A and B are shown apart, each in its own frame.
Chain A
Amino acid sequence: MKYYLLPAIRLTLVCLLLFSVMYTALVWCVAQITPDKGEAAVWMVHGKKMYRNIGQKFSDDKYFWSRPSAVNYNAAAAGASNKGPNNPDYLLSVQQNVDSFQIHHPGVPASAIPADLVTASGSGLDPDIAVQSAMIQVNRIAQIRHIPKSIIESLVRQHTDKPLLGIFGPESVNVLALNIALDSLTNH
């Protein structure tokens, strides 16, 4: 047994050194010369630090809303609802999302509401919504902020992330980017 265990211990320790320590150190060093310095992509907004890819909760009527979240956008305990597609409680909560959306958007029929605005994301931190989901909120924002609809619509188009190379994957709108742009529009 000793014939096998002793080399096993020594091999494990040298692997620990190579993969847990040296590989990590190497990647960390490379991180220091990348644009984000290993601190994830960050925006500074009026001196406040925000993570580009971590979605924020937007429930205020003057902002574009983000998607429902099972963890209320708590980025220290991310998670999903994990509800089955035909779970009665789940369907009730989706119906509530539809109802509360309609209260804040009078006149919008349920058939015009995109699915992402009434379902929770996988991480609970989804930074994006669909283009359609931004457009449907334009009316409300135009009224509250007293800005012409056309300007807000063009703002949404400006902040639409096209598919990768124009051909791979979905289009999306980063809600935080859009709302920062919206705020700076009002400030001018």
Chain B
Amino acid sequence: MIDRSTAPAPEKSLLFNLPEVKELELANGIKLFFVRKEKLPIIYTDVLVLAGSKFDPQNKRGLGYLTSLLIDEGAGEYDSLQLSDEFEKLGSIFSVTSNHDLISMTLLSMKENFNRSLDLLSKIILTPRFEETDFLREKKKVLDRILQLKDEPSFIASTVFEKILFGETFYAYPEIGYEDTVNEISNNDVKKFYHDIFTAANSKFIVVGNLTEEEAVEQFNKYLGGWNGSPKTSVAFEMPKRNPTKFFFVHKENSAQSEIRVGHIAKKRDAADYIPTRIMNTILGGQFSSRINHNLREEKGFTYGASSVYQYYQNAGSFEVSTAVNIENTGASVSEIIKELEGIRKNISPEEIEFAKSYLIKQFPSRFETYSQVAKNIEQLLIHNLSVNELADYTAKIEAASNEEISKSALENVFPDELVVVAVGDREKVSAQLKDVSGNNAVEVDNSGNVLN
């Protein structure tokens, strides 16, 4: 008979070689971060342009996003459809994503089609067409998407939360913009954004794949080594203050659930206590076995899932608890979340810390399995202007964080008296429940976070 009563012990510790990241430079001075990964004949490229919607003019919110949609609508000798066709013939996958801080263009290609795919990528970067017909079509698509987003409670909850949190700063505005601000955008605005902000000086390249360092430098120099132009840009930012806790709600008629966001302004990614804070949040709400998910899901059954995250923007940070709960438990859920935020400040057990450290340290190798994972690990550091050497130090720093530092990080990064609480749900059900929790009337706001009377 076997003993099933205890978990089997692991074998000797794991042999994992962290991929070596080489920091290279192209002829035009752009940094190229290179990782050789040989398992498959594929190459993943990430062009990181620090040119996000934070650069949008106040009356033209949505400009950076629209630019990111238009960047691959035709380039060089190819119109929009031809360009897409060229990638498909190669079996290469090109995609663009963007947020407040950046536009990122990624390319996954077979090694045999890499040079040709990079050639196409360079045309997108260097010679986008920005034709009027494409502009009008994509702009209309954005406006209709904004209309559709009125139906999505989770988008509304996050948008309203960020609007209230970030006040008048650029992180307060949804990247997609608003109907009236997108209406203001012209094709010339897009071209100007491309010319002034989407520049070589704001960019970094990452390549992970089955090629040599020399091949990478040669090909990037060949296709993108001549990219030059406007200087590096920046835009002023003043970190908003935290305020005493305040409750808000958005009316959504007959909703089956309420979408809840609870949180506050937090430190930036480069804070000295980033590591202890990460360990602390792992315990609080950063994974399935966390306190918040255990309480709201596994004990109370209020939700399918609940989590907390420290969100790191380039210029700011935020702390955000998210969940969707059946509407009758809106107030109870908010109370429980606040209770957990108070609780983490009072006591963290050594067992919890041991668990969280083990989780973070031992899962580290799995973050380097795919080509895009490797690139995204590097990208995260570059966004925050951190050295790629951070990867090599990461697990040792987790190991070294003391119980005192971790407990202290809760006191210095969780503020249960300075919360923004947002619930999106039916007014009839939500507003009374929120009042029971806070003692005051919750403020009703619209889909964009503007206060209603």
Partners in one complex: no
Binding site for A on B (CB under 8 A): none
